Amino acid sequence: MSATAPGKLILFGEHAVVYGRPALAIPLLQVGVTVMIELAGPDPASSHSSTSDSQNWLEHISITAPDIGRYGTLASYASKPEPDPIAAAIGNLFSALGVTTPPAMRIHITSSIPVASGLGSGAAVSVALIRALATSLGKTLSDEQVNQLAFETEKLYHGTPSGIDNTVITYARPVYFVKNLPLETFSVGAPFTLVIADSGIIAATHESVGDVRKLWQAEPVRLEKIFSSIANIVDQARLAIQTGDINFLGPLMNQNHSLLQELTVSSPELDRLTAAALSCGALGAKLSGGGRGGNMIALVQPETAPAIAVALRDAGARGTIITQVS
């Protein structure tokens, strides 16, 4: 049994989305996660019982995930002092399905999404894992059930997540996202090209989210103004994307990046990369995701994409991806 999930890219609205403002995000299909599950116990449809007794079934579920440095049994992760997101995703899925003694199984996870880079690695693992597990147990989950289960795991990664990562990755469609409101998708009026550059700096999203919360608690009026300015940019960007007015997106990206700098979630590396992209002819550039490291994006003319990708690597990017949004 197997399942896959793409990465994700936030175009506009990160951080403000945690405070009830909208954000635009798209699935990133060039990278993703694949989860394969091999059952080693009885037919799950018969009894959901394992070859061992109900007290040690955790020892009979193995996890191999070389790309994210995970090797061992579920028991080894479930017993750690800090909650483990993969163990939590598995446990939450079993609870939702009413499975108390699952069959022995081997779980193999591969990922081409850089960890802690703002491309949704954690959410993609959760979504693919939940779907693969459900299928292996003969169960079918709706997209929204998968989404909600993945969101519970996201709380372990990010503390107070907006839910945008798991939503975009679950539905694999461009999303106009507002926390706690019904899902809205949006159409792309004309294709546009982005260059994504990895700063090479590993940054924990929960730390930048937590720091923004401290700022908000200390200066709520100023922070709310910034969030509202970002929300205005998001709405303008959505209209520009839907109508195909791609040139209008560049200045909006630059404005959004400046506001993220005010939130203290950029970094010298990200600022250097955005400046390098703009100096080489990018129409706009900004960080994408939690910030402090991870990725930035540049809106470019298709014919300039390869040269701008080279310039970004010369400016210190660990790697680049060229993607067309359509």
User: What does the pLDDT read at residue 49?
Assistant: 45
User: What does the pLDDT read at residue 166?
Assistant: 94
Do 234 and 166 lie in one domain? The reply is no
Report the number of distinct structural domains present in the chain. 2
How far is Cα of residue 49 from the mean position of the Cα atoms in its chain?
Answer: 34
Give the DSSP H/E element, type plus range, for residue 17: none
C-alpha span between 257 and 255 (Å, rounded): 5
User: What does the pLDDT read at residue 315?
Assistant: 98
User: What does the pLDDT read at residue 127?
Assistant: 98
Do 173 and 214 lie in one domain? The reply is no
Reported as a single tens digit per residue, the pLDDT across 293-308 is 999 999 999 999 999 9
Query: Alpha-carbon Rg of the chain, whole angstroms?
Result: 20
Counting as low any pLDDT under 50, the low residues of the chain are 44-52
User: What does the pLDDT read at residue 55?
Assistant: 52
User: What does the pLDDT read at residue 204?
Assistant: 83
Do 73 and 221 lie in one domain? The reply is no
C-alpha span between 247 and 6 (Å, rounded): 27
Q: Is 165 a catalytic residue?
A: yes
Classify 84 as helix, strand or coil.
Answer: coil
CB 204 within 8 A of CB 325: no
User: Containing domain of residue 293, as a range?
Assistant: 188-325
* Residue among 322, 267, 276, 291 nearest 13 (CA): 291
**HSE (side-chain half, CA atoms, 13 Å) at 16:** 30
Do 76 and 202 lie in one domain? The reply is no
9: domain CATH number is 3.30.230.10
Query: Which residue in the list 43, 53, 165, 235 is annotated as catalytic?
Result: 165
User: What does the pLDDT read at residue 50?
Assistant: 42
Reported as a single tens digit per residue, the pLDDT across 139-197 is 999 999 999 999 999 888 767 778 899 999 999 999 999 999 998 999 999 999 999 99
